[in-house]
């Protein structure tokens, strides 16, 4: 308020407020101005990158106007906001999305043409913002799009990693990691040097007598690191609402280096503090579904939670409301357990700094937070060692102990006879060293806990959080099945399909109400419509084939069936099952007569995805895929009947090319392991069918699109435990003869040095087959045969695709956000007038 312009001068101010371009002429004007002045380039020195930069800056100007207005509107409206805390936001590219959301892509296309550029080339200059590993980060990005589109007052909070997820190169069939330095030129971020927060680490806790004679605590000493805010605008689709994503960057508190040391000639160590501070936000941990318990990761988590909470509390305090109103103004959603320390930090602020009583503070805290669980896999459930936390966050550990004590006392009162329950549900695991169980802390500190697909939500209620369901009752636990934004995953990635759909539905309303797709079903038998549909799919396959040709040198036939599995490489996702199936196919074709071969539908098996750098088995799977490709793709006897492709460096912008080109995609995790999956939804929405297990959201996809439109196979989640038991303790185990033949081929060196694949083969044959590859192999192979058969009847196949797309309305992230808003956040939209 102190810095606002005085009333008499506001008219002059308003007169000069720019709105940004709307016409082609104005667009060209702005773009050329930015290229010539902001970038200091000229007519004779303007490449595609400069054209991208100028275009991005012209669009940015437009966004900023709405962004500022949105923030003002939200401040004046004085209503509840949502804060989405996620360590990952896998945003991908921003320009194309901004163009479509503000509705000026055609203007830009024509304008760029006038200036001598093709819009596609300009768009593809942008570096992906890859601040995430996989599904969890991309879900957060889809949620931001929906929140803005649906006019919810919402902020995302994350870290401004200097290095996002690494870039993957495949060299001699092995994954090589290259650092992803993405900040060279990033027109979408705004440094807010005036928004800095001091974050404390280490030190000690001093106890003292407070005013009313009560013992108080104060966290003192240690070291201070500064958090600097960087903001990015998040435009909603066809609305003026432009929300904010705030990323925190770390820097040494003094800002500079140690002059004393510098003057003494200790040049290197003089910058030590600064470098140590900057390390906090330097790099995204590249593990997906794996917790490694590293101190720097805990530092990242606290740094980001503390800075975000400081910001949220400061904003609330401006309203001068009573603390009890905090949960009426603030909803904080924890994306997985990574931000769980925010619970402890808010309690600390309320009791140590704002001097509230424990119980009053705790009621505020628990009414503020909601927690989304994204995995039941034990290796992904976060635990922090007590000694580590004691050292880094001594006051927080005390508060965690107090939260735990209060909680256990409550449990004891409720279940006085069940002593074992206390150790089972304690936040502190009595191991060596003791560990803090973050999922329990998140559950105890939140008013709602949700899973991300029905099966997953049922599983968390009956496994990890079973005791908590008896303690709190079933209502605390709920399900919000994941979704995807149709703006990016249909309209942006597959513009022609979006256009065709719009032509039948009489407009693009389906992009904001995806259930309208159901009107498409009546065209599933319309010959003309089906022909156009097929042409679009074919064009999308040609585009992917070109990408494959350009990047791998292998030419694939776009008329072949494209079978795609792109996602992080993980044993539980079972790319190994897929490649073993491919080897089986190869061996089968080799043994076929020419007559039999003629009946086959040619196939291109496409893989893509990154393995965590320390995940050796996942890297072996990549190597096996590449080695099989080496042999199969050069086998003249096979020709177009089978090709095996590894697409390097799978990321969001590649997904936009790959997804629309699929005929069949694979979602084949061991039942009960994939919490939801979201690429399954993207593929179906783009007119591809899927082969999958009864896992995650596959189950709901089946329910929506119908069993006859999906290829399901494999054992069910309820049987997994018994099957694992049988692998370890059973005495008769015979390998399926087809799978046995596959292992014989690998072990005899058909795909190069067999020793490299020993551990992979042994994990299935000798070491318990934890992911049940051998149990599902034969049903997988049979189901793939059904796919072959079905694909031969193109009329029927296309009808299935159209019918499936028409029934995908449920999987929009708009529906998810609506559910979160109603069931968890209790927040209302703020529609711009």
Hey, which residues are catalytic here? Answer: 374, 567-568, 573, 678, 682
Smallest Cα–Cα separation from 370: which of 305, 442, 441, 470? 442
692 is a site residue for ligand 9GP (CB under 6 A): no
**Please, what is the minimum distance in Å from the beta carbon of residue 53 to ligand 9GP?**
33
375 is a site residue for ligand 9GP (CB under 6 A): yes
# residues contacting ligand 9GP (CB under 6 A): 18
User: Among residues 84 and 523, whose Cβ is nearest to ligand 9GP?
Assistant: 84
676 is a site residue for ligand 9GP (CB under 6 A): yes
678 is a site residue for ligand 9GP (CB under 6 A): yes
677 is a site residue for ligand 9GP (CB under 6 A): yes
Q: What is d(CA 489, CA 100) in angstroms, rounded to the nearest whole number?
A: 12
Instruction: Kindly identify the residues of this chain, within the stretch 495-554, that bind ligand 9GP according to CB under 6 A.
Output: none
Which residue from 336, 345, 382, 532 is in contact with ligand 9GP, where contact means CB under 6 A? Answer: 336
DSSP 379-403: GGS-EEEHHHHHHH-HHHHHHHHHH
User: Among residues 129 and 141, whose Cβ is nearest to ligand 9GP?
Assistant: 141
Contact 461, 474 (CB under 8 A): yes
**Please, what is the minimum distance in Å from the beta carbon of residue 382 to ligand 9GP?**
9
339 is a site residue for ligand 9GP (CB under 6 A): no
DSSP 768-780: --TT-HHHHHHHH
824 is a site residue for ligand 9GP (CB under 6 A): no
Q: Does residue 200 sit in helix, strand or coil?
A: strand
Judged on CB neighbours under 10 Å (0-12, 13-18, 19+), 124 is: middle
Smallest Cα–Cα separation from 727: which of 681, 778, 772, 777? 772
**Helix axes of 737-747 and 758-765: crossing angle, nearest 10 degrees:** 160
User: Among residues 664 and 675, whose Cβ is nearest to ligand 9GP?
Assistant: 675
Whether the link from the prior residue into 433 is cis, omega within 30° of 0, is yes
Binding mask 415-454 for ligand 9GP (x = CB under 6 A): -------------------------------------x--
Residue range at the interface with ligand 9GP (CB under 6 A); choices 220-228, 576-584, 669-677, 711-719: 669-677
Instruction: Kindly identify the residues of this chain, within the stretch 103-142, that bind ligand 9GP according to CB under 6 A.
Output: 134-136, 139
Phi and psi at residue 426, to the nearest 5°: -60, 140
Which residue from 482, 512, 540, 627 is in contact with ligand 9GP, where contact means CB under 6 A? Answer: 482
**Please, what is the minimum distance in Å from the beta carbon of residue 569 to ligand 9GP?**
13
Binding mask 241-280 for ligand 9GP (x = CB under 6 A): ----------------------------------------
Q: How far is CA 602 from CA 267, 561, 598, 677, 795, in A?
A: 64, 6, 9, 28, 18
**Please, what is the minimum distance in Å from the beta carbon of residue 693 to ligand 9GP?**
12
Judged on CB neighbours under 10 Å (0-12, 13-18, 19+), 831 is: exposed
Strand 215-220 relative to strand 204-209, pairing: antiparallel
674 is a site residue for ligand 9GP (CB under 6 A): yes
Smallest Cα–Cα separation from 384: which of 293, 300, 304? 293
696 is a site residue for ligand 9GP (CB under 6 A): yes
User: Among residues 143 and 646, whose Cβ is nearest to ligand 9GP?
Assistant: 143
Q: What is d(CA 28, CA 18) in angstroms, rounded to the nearest whole number?
A: 16
714 is a site residue for ligand 9GP (CB under 6 A): no
24 is a site residue for ligand 9GP (CB under 6 A): no
User: Among residues 629 and 696, whose Cβ is nearest to ligand 9GP?
Assistant: 696
What sign results for the dihedral spanned by CA atoms 426, 431, 435, 438? negative
What sign results for the dihedral spanned by CA atoms 645, 646, 647, 652? positive
Q: What is d(CA 568, CA 91) in angstroms, rounded to the nearest whole number?
A: 16
**Which residue ranges make up the site for ligand 9GP (CB under 6 A)?**
134-136, 139, 288-289, 336, 374-375, 380, 452, 482, 674-678, 696
């Amino acid at each position: 308020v102190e810095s606002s312009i005085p009333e008499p001068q506001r008219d002059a101010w308003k007169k000069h407020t720019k709105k940004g371009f709307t016409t082609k002429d104005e667009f060209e004007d702005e773009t050329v101005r930015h290229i010539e002045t902001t970038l200091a380039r000229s007519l004779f020195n303007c490449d595609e990158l400069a054209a991208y930069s100028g275009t991005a800056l012209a669009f940015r100007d437009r966004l900023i106007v709405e962004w500022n207005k949105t923030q003002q509107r939200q401040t004046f409206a004085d209503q509840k906001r949502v804060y989405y805390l996620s360590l990952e936001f896998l945003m991908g590219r921003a320009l194309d999305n901004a163009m479509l959301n503000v509705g000026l892509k055609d203007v830009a296309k024509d304008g760029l043409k006038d200036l001598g550029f093709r819009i596609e080339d300009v768009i593809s200059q942008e570096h992906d913002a890859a601040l995430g590993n996989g599904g969890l980060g991309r879900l957060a990005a889809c949620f931001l799009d929906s929140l803005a589109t649906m006019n919810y007052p919402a902020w995302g909070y994350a870290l401004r990693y200097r290095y996002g997820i690494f870039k993957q190169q495949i060299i001699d069939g092995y994954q090589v990691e290259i650092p992803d330095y993405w900040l060279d030129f990033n027109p979408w971020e705004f440094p807010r040097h005036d928004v800095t927060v001091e974050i404390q680490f280490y030190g000690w806790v001093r106890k003292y007598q407070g005013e009313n004679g009560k013992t108080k605590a104060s966290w003192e000493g240690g070291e201070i690191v500064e958090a600097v805010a960087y903001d990015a605008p998040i435009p909603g689709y066809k609305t003026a609402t432009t929300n904010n994503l705030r990323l925190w960057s770390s820097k040494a508190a003094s800002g500079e280096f140690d002059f004393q040391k510098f003057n003494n000639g200790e040049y290197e160590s003089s910058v030590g503090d600064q470098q140590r501070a900057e390390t906090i936000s330097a790099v995204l941990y590249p593990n997906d579904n794996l917790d490694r318990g590293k101190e720097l990761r805990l530092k990242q988590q606290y740094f980001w939670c503390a800075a975000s909470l400081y910001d949220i509390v400061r904003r609330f305090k401006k309203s001068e409301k009573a603390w009890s109103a905090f949960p009426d103004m603030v909803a904080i959603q924890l994306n997985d357990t990574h931000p769980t320390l925010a619970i402890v930090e808010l309690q600390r602020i309320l009791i140590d700094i704002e001097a509230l009583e424990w119980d009053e503070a705790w009621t505020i805290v628990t009414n503020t937070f909601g927690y989304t669980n994204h995995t039941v896999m034990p290796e992904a459930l976060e635990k922090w060692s007590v000694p580590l936390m004691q050292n880094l966050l001594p006051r927080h550990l005390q508060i965690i102990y107090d939260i735990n004590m209060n909680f256990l006392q409550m449990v004891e009162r409720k279940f006085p006879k069940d002593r074992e329950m206390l150790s089972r549900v304690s936040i502190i695991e009595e191991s060596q060293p003791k560990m803090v169980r973050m999922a329990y802390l998140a559950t105890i500190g939140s008013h709602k806990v949700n899973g991300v697909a029905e099966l997953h939500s049922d599983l968390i209620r009956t496994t990890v959080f079973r005791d908590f369901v008896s303690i709190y009752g079933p209502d605390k636990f709920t399900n919000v099945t994941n979704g995807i934004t149709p703006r990016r995953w249909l309209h942006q990635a597959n513009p022609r399909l979006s256009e065709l759909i719009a032509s039948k539905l009489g407009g693009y309303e389906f992009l904001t109400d995806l259930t309208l797709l159901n009107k498409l079903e009546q065209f599933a038998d319309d010959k003309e419509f089906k022909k156009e549909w097929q042409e679009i799919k074919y064009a999308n396959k040609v585009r992917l084939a070109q990408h494959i040709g350009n990047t791998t040198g292998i030419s694939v036939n776009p008329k072949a069936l494209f079978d795609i599995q792109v996602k992080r490489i993980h044993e539980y996702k079972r790319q190994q099952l897929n490649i073993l199936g491919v080897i089986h196919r190869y061996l089968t074709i080799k043994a076929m007569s020419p007559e039999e071969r003629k009946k086959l539908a040619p196939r291109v098996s496409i893989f893509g995805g990154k393995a965590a750098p320390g995940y050796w088995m996942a890297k072996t799977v990549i190597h096996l895929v590449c080695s099989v490709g080496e042999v199969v793709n050069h086998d003249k006897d096979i020709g177009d009947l089978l090709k095996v492709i590894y697409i390097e460096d799978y990321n969001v912008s590649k997904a936009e090319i790959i997804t629309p080109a699929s005929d069949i995609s694979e979602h084949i995790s061991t039942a009960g392991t994939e919490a939801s999956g979201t690429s399954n939804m993207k593929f179906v929405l783009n007119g591809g069918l899927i082969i999958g297990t009864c896992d995650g959201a596959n189950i709901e996809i089946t329910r929506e699109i119908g069993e006859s439109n999906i290829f399901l196979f494999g054992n069910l989640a309820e049987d997994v435990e018994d099957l694992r038991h049988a692998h370890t303790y059973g005495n008769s185990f015979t390998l399926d003869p087809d799978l046995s033949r596959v292992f014989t081929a690998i072990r005899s060196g058909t795909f190069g040095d067999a020793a490299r694949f020993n551990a992979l083969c042994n994990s299935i044959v000798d070491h318990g087959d934890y992911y049940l590859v051998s149990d599902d192999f034969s049903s997988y192979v049979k189901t793939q045969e059904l796919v072959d058969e079905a694909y031969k009847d193109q009329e029927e196949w296309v009808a299935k695709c159209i019918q499936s797309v028409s029934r995908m309305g449920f999987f929009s992230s708009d529906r998810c956000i609506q559910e979160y808003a109603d069931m968890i956040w209790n927040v209302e939209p703020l529609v711009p007038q």
